[in-house]
Structure 1
């Protein structure tokens, strides 16, 4: 029997680059939708986190993605990092769970944050594709709330992330400490890539938004503390990003800041994109084109575009 890497060999894309996040294939509805992914010969795809919770979910998603796209990138979301009480990942916590996911991705020749950044030579290139992993540190909070009180502040409105029970920071003492180390690691990696490719723009892909002002949650505003870190606020400027891709919010939107395009590319839970399905849209219609993408607005800024239908 052939191994996944023998069956799915990565090619160098010459076409377009797409992205999608939060496909949550643990849900049968989403799993069936993902199985309908169409072939995209010559194109690339970024899977921007929250594929699922288990090794089996990753294998299902990667096998389909690599059949349909020439090159696939992946960065982890919080759901990939969950430790469930039973199953293939029951004994894996924190950094070890992340590394388990990385190994599964590599078995399908999927590029991860642990691999060298690749220069995109397809449409819209050359551009450095930089998948990263930063987690969160509760600094997406009001100024008058101390970081150590942020979770209690959220609980005042009965908001508490499942992460508090299933996402363990081992071997670090806290999620904040793990986030701090990840930020240092990927800051250094981005700096090194910028020194190597000083004239090239970047596409940065991270499950969590890089900026607090892009984490707008109308119905559960205090969930924002689990949505990123203030330490990445200026990374789009520092690292010459032409686009920043994220998920996590389950609210598709496009923003322009300082000439950089920010794309939230979530699919979401079945109930959250059911209205799209009812209009005849499928997962193929909800893939977001990253490159070549549109030209920036004249002054580099534009009102938010809420992309309810993709």
Structure 2
């Protein structure tokens, strides 16, 4: 049974009255066109910044920025200002790079951990960009209705072989000269560790998704999270042990539990489309300049490499569908 238009247009997941001073935003109008997504813009690179400047208008459409737009306040503002200039409604969820506390040559170190995340949220709200801290809202454009649910889960080093212990995970990765920059720049303050922060985030967004499903059981979800929800979607041919920093096994079945129509992620810098249990998984990274160089040489930029999420391709008729590696978009 499909929800009515009046029902699906209601604001989802209302906060308690005592949180009214921090209540989330509702867009003035919701897009009636298509929904797109892109991740890993990495605007600290000149080539990527130039490519982003060439984003063209998409009147009536929506966009999900799925993390890693850059490392600085300047990068966030550049990403949000251009996105909101070209799209009717924009969603954002954080990646690891937004959470970096970059070293400074003089003066006190910048904000860390949850404070850094909150700084990003505050900047997003300046541009009316919807975040994981805002109420999930219903999409009534093409491919809808569906609930757009940007979330934030981090990682807990559980994407590792069974014989590798948690304590031995990072030494195991170092054996192959693999270690994420996160170990030096992504601080979990005030939590004791990144995995503890991840655990809290998983519980927080699990609760939020449960509430949305209970309130609107007939609406499928579009879940957007920078990190993949499933370990079997992490294929890293040249740096396989980097999987430690790519998600948590705690979200393995969330696409089934929460009736996801599409799950959007980034982080891997390897564009791909997968189907699991009738749900479409889209990795939508742009990546570092060297990783989309072939596309640039063919005249392709962010306009060509953005991924259409809704309505998107038709659901396959067969149960088993091989991964589609989307080198060119």
Smaller-chain TM-score bracket: over 0.9
Report the Cα offset of residue 301 of structure 1: 3.2
Query: For residue 277 of structure 2, what is the aligned residue in structure 1?
Result: 258
2:193 corresponds to 1:174: yes
CA distance in 1, matches of 2:178, 2:139: 40
CA distance in 1, matches of 2:271, 2:34: 20
Report the Cα offset of residue 90 of structure 1: 4.1
Query: For residue 147 of structure 2, what is the aligned residue in structure 1?
Result: 128
Report the Cα offset of residue 181 of structure 1: 0.1
Q: Give the SS at the match of 1:302.
A: coil
2:160 corresponds to 1:147: no
Q: Give the SS at the match of 1:53.
A: coil
Contact 1:258 1:301 in 2 (8 A): no
2:46 corresponds to 1:56: no
CA distance in 2, matches of 1:197, 1:95: 30
Q: Give the SS at the match of 1:224.
A: helix
Report the Cα offset of residue 86 of structure 1: 2.8
Query: For residue 314 of structure 2, what is the aligned residue in structure 1?
Result: 295
Query: For residue 95 of structure 1, what is the aligned residue in structure 2?
Result: 114
Query: Would the alpha carbon gap of residues 62 and 111 (structure 1) be closer, same or farther in structure 2, given more than 3 Å must change?
Result: same
CA distance in 2, matches of 1:67, 1:11: 15
CA distance in 2, matches of 1:76, 1:90: 21
Query: For residue 6 of structure 1, what is the aligned residue in structure 2?
Result: none
CA distance in 2, matches of 1:30, 1:196: 41
The residue correspondences of 1:29-68 to structure 2 (distance < 5 A) are: 29-68=47-86
Report the Cα offset of residue 89 of structure 1: 10
2:79 corresponds to 1:26: no
Report the Cα offset of residue 295 of structure 1: 1.9
Report the Cα offset of residue 148 of structure 1: 1.7
CA distance in 2, matches of 1:285, 1:89: 42
CA distance in 1, matches of 2:193, 2:319: 38
CA distance in 2, matches of 1:230, 1:115: 25
CA distance in 1, matches of 2:108, 2:138: 33
Query: Would the alpha carbon gap of residues 202 and 286 (structure 1) be closer, same or farther in structure 2, given more than 3 Å must change?
Result: same
Report the Cα offset of residue 11 of structure 1: 3.4
Query: For residue 210 of structure 1, what is the aligned residue in structure 2?
Result: 229
Q: 2:238 aligns with which of 215, 219, 226?
A: 219
Report the Cα offset of residue 280 of structure 1: 1.2
Query: For residue 270 of structure 1, what is the aligned residue in structure 2?
Result: 289
CA distance in 2, matches of 1:29, 1:294: 30
With normalisation by structure 2, the TM-score equals 0.90
Q: Give the SS at the match of 2:323.
A: strand
Contact 1:10 1:70 in 2 (8 A): no
CA RMSD of aligned residues (A): 1.3
Q: Which runs of 5+ in 2 are unaligned?
A: 1-26
Query: For residue 267 of structure 2, what is the aligned residue in structure 1?
Result: 248
Offset from partner CA, 1:53-77 (integer Å, 9 cap, x none): 1111100110000000000000000
The residue correspondences of 1:189-208 to structure 2 (distance < 5 A) are: 189-208=208-227
Q: Give the SS at the match of 1:254.
A: strand
Report the Cα offset of residue 10 of structure 1: 5.3
Query: Would the alpha carbon gap of residues 89 and 19 (structure 1) be closer, same or farther in structure 2, given more than 3 Å must change?
Result: farther
CA distance in 2, matches of 1:282, 1:108: 24
